Chains A and B, each alone.
Chain A
């Protein structure tokens, strides 16, 4: 609950002491941060009767002086400019300004100068500068995520901008948790090291007073990783509910937009998938597709019983019971529709794109051996008319990541076949991926074939006969967490920053993946947390990836670098 609770508490504090009708003004980033933890009906209870974006205030000229304005914004220079203009011509009765991160002194001076009519009642910092999609998973929704792969020399200011945003987000998380961490980073990643250093500088030097919480317990650990150390997980098709919805349709801030995949009635065009508010989703978000189908059928049956009894209203008692239960019934109906629609649409996509066939090969490429068989399987799928372009790209990418050093001739054959089949992907894209995330660039033992222990584990798995061939894959993150739990995360691979050190195991570990996380990974984290190992993990990233976004990140960078 931790991050969600912290964010909610900030919002409650903003609203609590301001009486009367209010308007809440957000920016495009804070609207996400607020929308995942607070609802419209909760705002209404607090007498917030209007919500607007800071850059669209100008559109209306109505006088709203009977409303008190509550601003919650990131302290960016654009927002300060917006505020300057709005304070110069105030439309609302009172102005209460809240910022999601630390304000610079210059920004405060600008605001003070603009407040000629003295409408500002208070200015405070409430550090909800992150999007807490799940209790143990947050994202920063960074728009130009592909920049993490940009070499510093190419565009230093854009890269600095990216790093600043990440450092601000991580800082806000720790301010919200009221802790200051010990920091470790992935040695082979320049950007991970840079972010680690800049975070440390902020927390231990520039704003050391703010971060000095005087806690006596053991410090939490902040571990900064690079997406490129595990390029396989984002490429894989998914078969557990939440991850699958994101992979096939797309989830943004816990909302699913179905308009991209078909025509639906107005109330089903966009739906919410939140474990906090939907008990069916909470119980099924990490379950396999097959099990989901059964559970949904059971839910539909239950609902039909209720619906039937509602239709046969014969006695006044029946009617009375219907009246009493109507809101619950309505909610149940909406929820059943939502899940049935999602599963139906995804089943269709699985069938059209032959995803079970494709996924079987993907899992083989990710988990098991046999270069020859892999080459044959990928070739066959490339030749299969039903397989879509994105799936072909993924298969070749996965093959290349696995077998980049084996049989270069066959690898080239696959590149050529891909180029000839899928005209829209520029040749060289896959090779580009290898340059970014090839074996020479990676730290972790991605395929478990470096470390003796891993080899043994893989063999044992293979022999046991995996329950479900489609969910064999474990993200590398799982192994990293295991190492941390056993106190065996190697210094040589993940060094401590500067003079940071930690004796013994931490109790709280925040893992930040520069370049983005996946729902398969957040699932691993949730399951690990449920094991009560004594360590609580929180996962965060610059974005939440699926295979399309991941491939698109590479593509954007590929175009910039003109390779």
Chain B
């Protein structure tokens, strides 16, 4: 897109073909120490993103028909989920360290960096939650379809209907026995999955609760640039007043 802009270069008139962007001998200065913390968190965010992609692949693999008992796939999913949740938890704790005391320009920069990273972490938390949710839904659809057995996904109770029936009085044929064995194993597996989901959701809920204080609500007054400028002005003024005391 071409905009009607005029472009100036100054310096000697003879330097007509000086390029625009790498002028001058001044280098950008060294950042303050807290930037190390923010960079660490940013790196973690990247790692979490990579792991998230791996998790998506693991989910897809687990949903495909296989000959094995799927334990390996399960294990991979569990450990990846745990890893990502841990990264998020640690990052969120580190993020608290960016909170700055005392009004100053630097503290405003810190606050903004903190808000930006909080948004990234929140987005990742939500993405993890959605991926889990989708995976479990698909898994449920699949298992129910396969066995023709309606296993109620009551994640709170987690009791299979099978246990309620009085099995002792029933006599099973071979086919039924096989089916029964499979669904028993399935139930145990199911319970472990549920347990992991419970823990993960708890942890995510806590992370998101902590983050929500930092994240900017889009479209509200705190998302206005002019509102943020006013706050900078007043905090710097207050800081100066305190210094003068």
Using a CB–CB cutoff of 8 Å, the interface residues on chain A facing chain B are 9-10, 13, 17, 20-21, 23, 26, 31-32, 34-35, 38-41, 43-45, 47, 49-53, 56, 59-60, 62-68, 90, 93-94, 102-103, 108, 111-112, 115, 117-127, 175, 178, 210-211, 213, 253, 255, 267, 270-272, 274, 277-278, 314-317, 319-320, 322-324, 326-327, 330-331, 334-335
Contacts and interface: CB of A to CB of B under 8 A. Distances in A.
B21 A122 contact: yes
B171 interface: no
Contact of B129 (A40, A94, A315, A324): A324
Given A44-B119, A316-B156, A108 B223 contact: no
Nearest to B221: A270
A57 to B, nearest CB: 9
Interface in B173-206: 194, 197-198, 201-202, 204-205
A558 to B, nearest CB: 32
Contacts of A49: 108-109, 112-113, 116
14 contacts: A34-B225, A39-B219, A44-B119, A52-B229, A53-B229, A60-B236, A62-B106, A65-B29, A118-B26, A213-B4, A272-B220, A315-B155, A315-B156, A316-B198
A253 B7 CA distance: 30
B227 to A, nearest CB: 7
Interface stretch (B30-38, B45-53, B63-71, B73-81): B30-38
B105 A62 contact: yes
Interface in B93-121: 104-106, 108-109, 112-113, 115-116, 119
Interface of B: 1, 3-8, 10-11, 20-32, 35, 104-106, 108-109, 112-113, 115-116, 119, 122, 125-126, 129-130, 132-133, 154-156, 194, 197-198, 201-202, 204-205, 208, 212, 215-229, 232-233, 236-237, 240
B224 A59 contact: no
A175 B24 contact: no
Nearest to B7: A124
A124 B6 CA distance: 6
B4 A317 contact: no
Contacts of B22: 121
Interface SS, B side: helix
A84 to B, nearest CB: 14
B218 A41 contact: yes
Contacts of A316: 155-156, 194, 197-198, 201
Contacts of A117: 24, 26
Most chain B CB inside 10 Å of its own CB: which residue of A90, A122, A323: A323
Contacts of B198: 316
A323 B219 contact: no
A123 B7 CA distance: 6
Given A40-B216, A324-B129, A111 B236 contact: no
B105 A50 contact: yes
Contacts of B132: 320
Given A59-B240, A178-B4, A43 B225 contact: yes
B5 A326 contact: no
Contact of A38 (B4, B217, B225): B225
Nearest to A322: B205
Contacts of B30: 65-66
A40 B223 contact: yes
Contacts of A123: 7-8, 10
A120 B24 contact: yes
Contact of B28 (A34, A93, A326): A93
B108 A50 contact: yes
B26 A119 contact: yes
A124 B229 contact: no
A93 B25 CA distance: 10
A122 B104 contact: no
Given A21-B31, A65-B28, A40 B228 contact: yes
B95 to A, nearest CB: 14
B6 to A, nearest CB: 5
Given A41-B119, A277-B218, A315-B156, A121 B23 contact: yes
A73 to B, nearest CB: 14
B12 to A, nearest CB: 10
A121 B24 contact: yes
B65 to A, nearest CB: 26
Most chain A CB inside 10 Å of its own CB: which residue of B24, B29, B125, B219: B219
B10 A111 contact: yes
A36 to B, nearest CB: 9
B41 to A, nearest CB: 14
Given A49-B113, A125-B6, A316-B198, A330 B21 contact: no
Contacts of A121: 20-24
A323 B205 contact: yes
Given A323-B129, A331-B219, A118 B116 contact: no
Contacts of B237: 59
Contact of B116 (A13, A45, A124, A270): A45
Contact of A93 (B4, B26, B115): B26
Contacts of A59: 236-237, 240
A520 to B, nearest CB: 25
A282 to B, nearest CB: 11
A62 B10 contact: no
Nearest to B115: A44
Contacts of B215: 327
A43 B108 CA distance: 14
A160 B35 CA distance: 50
A68 B228 contact: no
B229 A26 contact: yes
Contacts of B154: 315
A39 B223 contact: yes
A156 B201 CA distance: 70
B145 to A, nearest CB: 20
Contacts of A39: 218-219, 223-225
Contacts of B240: 59
Contacts of B155: 315-317
Most chain A CB inside 10 Å of its own CB: which residue of B109, B198, B225, B237: B225
Nearest to B200: A320
Contact of A326 (B4, B24, B208, B224): B208
B225 A127 contact: no
B226 A50 contact: no
Contacts of B119: 41, 44
Contacts of A50: 105, 108-109, 112, 232
Contacts of B23: 118, 120-121
Nearest to A210: B4
Nearest to B30: A66
Contacts of A53: 229, 233
A51 B225 contact: yes
B219 A278 contact: yes
B126 A327 contact: yes
B36 to A, nearest CB: 12
Contacts of A23: 109
Nearest first, the 9 A-B pairs at minimum CB distance are: A65-B29, A93-B28, A112-B10, A118-B24, A66-B31, A277-B219, A44-B116, A49-B112, A35-B226
A31 B115 contact: no
A47 B35 CA distance: 13
A326 B31 CA distance: 35
A41 B223 contact: yes
